[in-house]
A and B are shown apart, each in its own frame.
Chain A
């Protein structure tokens, strides 16, 4: 059973499109995250979210928005995709701010 899953694994799309990446965790965790791993391989946190608060990294453009239909899901919506959005996006979850479990990543390529 996969603890943290993401779909799709690969996403290729044109500039200007709107896309979503889904994330689900079956660990019963209360906190979920989205990270971006850029071309330099740095892991940058984009959002952390639990049922009480959303913490947004101030450097994240407002074209990116997390949506959580329930505690087990945190989807990432991206509007008006740009070339610079090409990266690998990782979802993660944890109990409070303890050890995080990561998904396998979604490689987004914007053409």
Chain B
């Protein structure tokens, strides 16, 4: 089955630690995205990538980093510089380039202890 797989589903982190969230897709999509969702707030774009080896900052990129070495993979690292990292993180990919239909993974919930 084609889709987007995010792991881990739940992650706990101590303050000062970096963590990496995985996002893998087998839909052959060029564009991939990372969003953050907080309770009572809309989705906010962290980073996006339209093609391998290229990515751009979204609205709230500070404290995060990404890589896009393979078409299928777009991992997100939440660094210790992110001041309030507890949130629900959603990965997505788009068909038909940057204007195509968006599909999401199941999300990863990060809690900082």
Q: Do A and B bind?
A: no
B interface residues, Cβ below 8 angstroms from A:
none
A residues touching B (Cβ–Cβ < 8 Å)?
A: none
